[in-house]
Homo-oligomer: A and B are copies of this chain.
């Protein structure tokens, strides 16, 4: 059984494990105040070209989202998201549990636009409604699509004009930055958003996300929120070590680029066989619409997720590749796929 069900199926890239072994008995301060975290912070600041931004390490995406959003907003302020946004769908109400409304906009491709934001603002005009104060986007999105520089700039300008924070969930940021059609680089993010995170969990680390807070107004006192929400890891060094390993020599981007290539090769195979997709995604997630009989057949040897029922006979499913996916895995699947379709 080979699994394409998600991008957190394995442990970590070997370089990370090496670093853990090498440094295991070094004594360091706890809670992220160690030299490994210090070095990783510096490396991130250098890679994104933002020497003054705050960098914090957390263990997971939901934790990062809830801690940052709860930190930045006042109680009557809300966050806008696409209706497919992770905070709106698959975080068990984590944002609401900190007291904040998530206002969702219908966005078939998983992407917000200035028009969405302006429509939302019209509905929130006095103290009988919440105040939209943050725009949350994911890049790559939950359905594998990406934002272009033009699109991100437009969101940035709309947010500035309306006094809104722009926050980017980068659980799959590396996948976006190495996708076909992408024209953004790491250095762009501090220019266009108030905060974003570099996802480690889905990018080759054991676990960990690096939150970058660019806007100093919302950077202050973040350590208090981090501790209060349970996200301050005692042995924070583990996070620093992993991000240094990933960012040195751009391993982070290289691993994502390779995962994208594998996924797109798989996509071409589906296309060649005449299948269509729920959405045209250039990253490491694809959503082919398949006959249920073929799905059953594939499930004998492969794991992948049902995503959406299309009709009585067809279902959109999701295949995901990761840093740990290999040539052999993808080729085996493609071979089987072709065989099943031509039987």
Query: Would you call B62 and A59 a contact (CB within 8 A)?
Result: no
- Is A228 an interface position by the 8 A CB rule? yes
Query: Would you call A93 and B70 a contact (CB within 8 A)?
Result: no
A86 to B, closest residue via Cβ = B128
A212-248: which have CB < 8 Å to B? 221, 223-235, 237-238
Interface size classification for chain A: 35 or more
Q: Quick one: CB contact mask for A86-110 with B, threshold 8 Å, 1 for yes? A: 0001111110111111100000000
- Is A6 an interface position by the 8 A CB rule? yes
Query: Please, which residues of chain B bring their CB within 8 A of the CB of A94?
Result: 227-230
Query: Would you call B232 and A60 a contact (CB within 8 A)?
Result: yes
| Complex Cα spacing A63 to B123, Å | 22
Query: Would you call A235 and B21 a contact (CB within 8 A)?
Result: no
Stoichiometry (number of copies) = 4
Query: Please, which residues of chain B bring their CB within 8 A of the CB of A206?
Result: 20, 235, 238
- Is A297 an interface position by the 8 A CB rule? no
Query: Would you call A97 and B97 a contact (CB within 8 A)?
Result: no
A210 to chain B, nearest CB (A): 15
Query: Would you call A234 and B8 a contact (CB within 8 A)?
Result: yes
Of the candidates B10, B26, B59, B130, the one whose C-beta lies within 8 Å of that of A59 is B59
Name the segment of A73-81, A160-168, A249-257 touching the other chain. A73-81
| Complex Cα spacing A202 to B202, Å | 27
| Complex Cα spacing A63 to B324, Å | 30
| Complex Cα spacing A105 to B9, Å | 35
Q: Quick one: CB contact mask for A1-27 with B, threshold 8 Å, 1 for yes? A: 011011011111010010011011111
A21-80: which have CB < 8 Å to B? 21, 23-30, 59-64, 66-67, 70-71, 74-76, 78
Of the candidates B67, B76, B234, the one whose C-beta lies within 8 Å of that of A230 is B67
- Is A174 an interface position by the 8 A CB rule? no
Given A20-B20, A91-B128, A206-B235, 20 new contacts (CB under 8 A): A9-B28, A10-B25, A11-B20, A11-B237, A17-B20, A17-B24, A20-B206, A25-B324, A27-B324, A70-B75, A75-B93, A75-B98, A76-B224, A90-B128, A92-B127, A92-B129, A96-B99, A98-B99, A99-B99, A202-B234
Q: List 30 A-B contacts (CB under 8 A).
A: A2-B27, A3-B27, A9-B28, A10-B24, A11-B23, A11-B24, A11-B235, A17-B20, A17-B21, A59-B207, A59-B233, A60-B230, A64-B230, A66-B229, A75-B98, A75-B225, A75-B228, A78-B96, A91-B128, A92-B129, A92-B130, A92-B224, A94-B229, A94-B230, A97-B228, A127-B223, A127-B224, A127-B226, A131-B221, A229-B229
Interface residues of A (CB under 8 A from B): 2-3, 5-6, 8-12, 14, 17, 20-21, 23-30, 59-64, 66-67, 70-71, 74-76, 78, 89-94, 96-102, 123, 127-131, 201-202, 206-207, 221, 223-235, 237-238, 324
